[in-house]
Chain A
Amino acid sequence: MIKLNKNVVVAGIGAVSLLVSLSLVGCSTTAGVETTGKMSWDDQGARTLEKKVVFNNSSLSGDIQIVDVKSAMAGDIMRAQATLRSKDKDTLPFQYRFDWFDANGIEINSGGGAWKPLLLTGRESKTVQSVAPDPRAKEFLLKIREAE
C-alpha cells in the first residue's frame, strides 16, 4: 500500500517536470498576421488604399479576423486603422505594431516601433490605430501576434 502511494507521488513529479519542459518549449512567438495598406492616387486624383492581408500562422487565423483596413489624412500625416474581430469565445491577449514606409517603400525609423498589447474579449471587435511618424509615410504594415 505504501509502495503504491510512493509510485503515484513519483509519477506526479514526472508529470510536473514533463509539463515544465513542455512549457519551456513554447517560449518563441510567431509573426502571426500581417496587413499592408499602400496609399496612392488614381487618375482623377482621388486617394486610394491598396490592401493586403497575410496570415503566417494558421492557429492565429482561427483566432482573429481582420474585418477592414482604412486610412485617412490629418493634414499631411497619414493615419491608419484596422478593425479586428476575435473568433474565439475566450479573452485572448495579442500584440500589434505598425511599421511605416515612404513612397519608395523605405521604412521610416526602421526597427523603431514598439509592440503594443491588445486584449480581445470573446467575439469582440476592436480597432487599432496608428499615426505615421512624419509626412513622408505613404504605406503601412500592421503585424499582429499572440502575446509573448
Chain B
Amino acid sequence: MKNSMKVLLAAVALGAASLSGCASTIQYGDAGSAKPISAEFGSSDLQQIAEAMVDSMITFPPMVELTASRRPVVSVDKVKNKTMQHIDTESVTDSIRTKLIRSGKFRFIDRTTDAQTIEEIKTQQDSGLVDKKSAVNFGQQVGAEFLLTANFSEIRQKAGSTTDVYYKFTMSIKNLKTGILEWSDEKEIRKVFKRGTFGG
C-alpha cells in the first residue's frame, strides 16, 4: 500500500509538473499561422482564399493583357454568404481589394464610404469655408468598369465524432458595360474535425 502511494504521489507530481508549463499565459501569435483550431472559418482560410483569388486574377492571360497599359477601375460587390456561419465577408473582400491595389494592376471605388463623401463635398460646396477654385464638385467621380462578385458556400457533413466541412469561394469579375464575366475562379478548402474521446 505504501509503495502504491509513492507511485501515485510521483504520478501526481509529474502531472502537476507537466501542467505548470501551461498555466494562463498571454503571448503574441503569428498572424500568418496556418494552425486550424476548429472546422469553423478561420484566419488562415481567409488568407488562403484572398491569396488564391488575387494570384489567379493577376496571372490570367486576358487580365495580364488588360492591365498591361492601364489600371481598370473596379467596384466590389457584397459576398453572398451561403454558409451557415456568421462570417465578416467584407473582411475577405477587403483583403482581396488591398492585394489587388498593391499589385498596381487595378484601381477601386468604394461604395461603403459614399455617405461620408457626399457630406464632405456638401461642406466644400455649401459651408462657405472652402475656396471655390479648389472645392470639389458633384458628378466628377469615375464610374467603375468592372464589378467583383463572389459567392461563399459550405457543405457540412457529420458522422459520429467526425465533422467534415467543405468550403467553396467563387469569385468573378464582370464587365459592367457588356455583362461578360472576364475572369472567374474558385478556392476550395476542406477541414476535418475529429472529436477526441476526452475532448470537450
Contact = CB atoms under 8 A, between A and B. Distances in A.
Contact of A148 (B8, B35, B54): B35
A56 interface: no
B51 interface: yes
Interface string A1-19: 0010011001101100110
A79 B59 CA distance: 9
A111 B68 CA distance: 28
A59 B109 CA distance: 50
A118 B145 CA distance: 37
A135 B7 contact: no
Interface in A1-44: 3, 6-7, 10-11, 13-14, 17-18, 20-21, 24
Given A10-B11, A114-B34, A134-B102, A21 B17 contact: yes
Given A10-B4, A13-B11, A131-B55, A148 B64 contact: no
Contacts of A97: 32
Contacts of B34: 95, 114-117, 147-148
Give the interface SS of chain A, mostly helix, strand, loop or mixed: mixed
Interface residues of A, number: 34
B168 interface: no
Nearest to A7: B4
Which applies to chain B's interface (DSSP): helix, strand, loop or mixed?
Answer: helix
A74 B60 CA distance: 8
Contact of B58 (A7, A74, A116, A147): A74
A75 B67 contact: yes
B55 A14 contact: no
B156 interface: no
Q: What class of interface size applies to chain B in its complex with A?
A: 35 or more
Contacts, number: 94
A79 B98 CA distance: 19
B64 A74 contact: yes
A65 interface: no
B54 A14 contact: no
A80 to B, nearest CB: 11
A111 B64 CA distance: 27
Given A24-B21, A75-B67, A77-B58, A114 B48 contact: yes
Given A10-B8, A17-B14, A131 B48 contact: no
A109 interface: yes
9 contacts: A6-B4, A11-B7, A13-B15, A75-B65, A79-B59, A114-B31, A116-B48, A133-B99, A135-B104
Interface of A: 3, 6-7, 10-11, 13-14, 17-18, 20-21, 24, 74-75, 77, 79, 95, 97, 109, 111-117, 129-131, 133-135, 147-148
Given A18-B14, A24-B21, A97-B32, 7 more contacts: A14-B10, A21-B14, A116-B34, A116-B51, A117-B44, A131-B58, A134-B103
